[in-house]
């Protein structure tokens, strides 16, 4: 179990480290930070710890500021000399709320509580993983052309997009068809390993991508394969908030 300690008083941090190691020999201290800024930088630069022991009042502010700045999914045991932050703590990732000075027995119970919580999460994650394996994704879309209907195989589709509140698909061969479906619903029905919603208006197949280029304001621009035409260049810009997740999707 890797634990990050967030504590601005060195004696308190050292005592907490000793108590943690005494409580469970499998605990490893992954790091110690003293400020909100240091903690944000640490979490952005290192693998996520299994647990965070976090003091509330730090040298540069209240620890809750970091939850407003970055996404923190790691469970947290808060430690503080004040009890007025309890409600605020349980609105984030709190497993427990310990008042200083932290006593060994209280810490032991908090660690046990975390372990039970972690075991539950692992069960939930396994259930979700199994559901992904058994999930049935769409293989084709029925489209209407005048008074005729035809079926388009998903493997033929390079991207779906929205234009003037209408949804369309475009095939790798360059054909375009309107769809009587929302992009949100389409996204839920196709394989997320193959398709990614790069922005509000475009759901793109991975095989349509020929190049990825750095763009303004920390965004990315997608270049399509030569035979594929986009309705507009703006459709091929990865939204700023999606860039990090998009890179992970590409790098699988």
Summarised one tens digit per residue, pLDDT across range 129-188 is 445 544 578 889 999 888 889 899 999 999 999 998 899 999 998 899 999 889 999 998
CB of 79 within 8 A of CB of 102? yes
Cα–chain-centroid distance for residue 87? 25
pLDDT of residue 153: 94
Would you kindly state where each structural domain of the chain is located, as residue ranges? 2-133, 140-250
Asked whether residue 9 carries a pLDDT value surpassing 80, the answer given is yes
Contact 74, 2 (CB under 8 A): no
2-133 classified as CATH 3.40.50.920? no
Average pLDDT over residues 62-91: 84
Q: How confident is the model at residue 91 (pLDDT cuts 50, 70, 90)?
A: confident
Burial 219-230 (b: 16+ CB within 10 A, else e): bbbbebeeebeb
Query: pTM for the complete prediction?
Result: 0.48
| Domain 2-133 matches domain 140-250 at the CATH topology level | no
Give the other-Cβ count within 10 Å of 189's Cβ: 15
Residue 49 has pLDDT above 90, yes or no: yes
The answer to whether the CB of 38 falls within 8 A of the CB of 13 is no
No. of H helices and E strands in the chain?
Answer: 7, 17
Q: For position 147, what pLDDT does the model report?
A: 86
Give the count of beta carbons closer than 10 Å to the beta carbon of residue 178. 13
Q: Which of 182, 143, 186 is nearest to 165 (CA)?
A: 182
Q: Is domain 140-250 in CATH 2.40.50.1020, yes or no?
A: yes
Q: Is residue 21 scored above 60 in pLDDT?
A: yes
């Amino acid at each position: 179990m890797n634990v990050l300690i967030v504590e601005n008083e060195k004696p308190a941090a050292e005592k907490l480290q000793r108590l943690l190691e005494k409580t469970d020999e499998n605990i490893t201290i992954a790091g110690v930070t003293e400020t909100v800024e240091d903690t944000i930088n640490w979490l952005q630069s290192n693998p996520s710890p299994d647990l965070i022991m976090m003091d509330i009042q730090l040298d540069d502010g209240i620890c809750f500021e970091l939850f407003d700045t970055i996404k923190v999914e790691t469970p947290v045991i808060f430690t503080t000399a004040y009890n007025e932050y309890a409600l605020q703590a349980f609105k984030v990732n709190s497993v427990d709320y310990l008042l200083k000075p932290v006593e060994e027995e209280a810490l032991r119970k908090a660690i046990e509580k975390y372990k039970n919580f972690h075991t539950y999460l692992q069960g939930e994650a396994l259930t979700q993983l199994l559901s992904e394996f058994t999930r049935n994704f769409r293989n084709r879309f029925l489209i209407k052309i005048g008074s005729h209907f035809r079926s388009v195989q998903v493997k033929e589709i390079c991207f779906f997009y929205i234009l003037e509140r209408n949804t369309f698909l475009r095939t790798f061969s360059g054909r375009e068809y309107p769809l009587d479906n929302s992009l949100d619903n389409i996204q839920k029905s196709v394989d997320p390993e193959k398709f990614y919603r790069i922005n509000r208006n475009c759901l793109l197949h991975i095989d349509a991508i020929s190049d990825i280029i750095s763009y303004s304001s920390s965004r990315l621009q997608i270049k399509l394969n030569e035979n594929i035409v986009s309705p507009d260049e703006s459709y091929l810009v990865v939204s700023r908030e999606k860039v990090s997740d998009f890179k992970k999707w590409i790098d699988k």
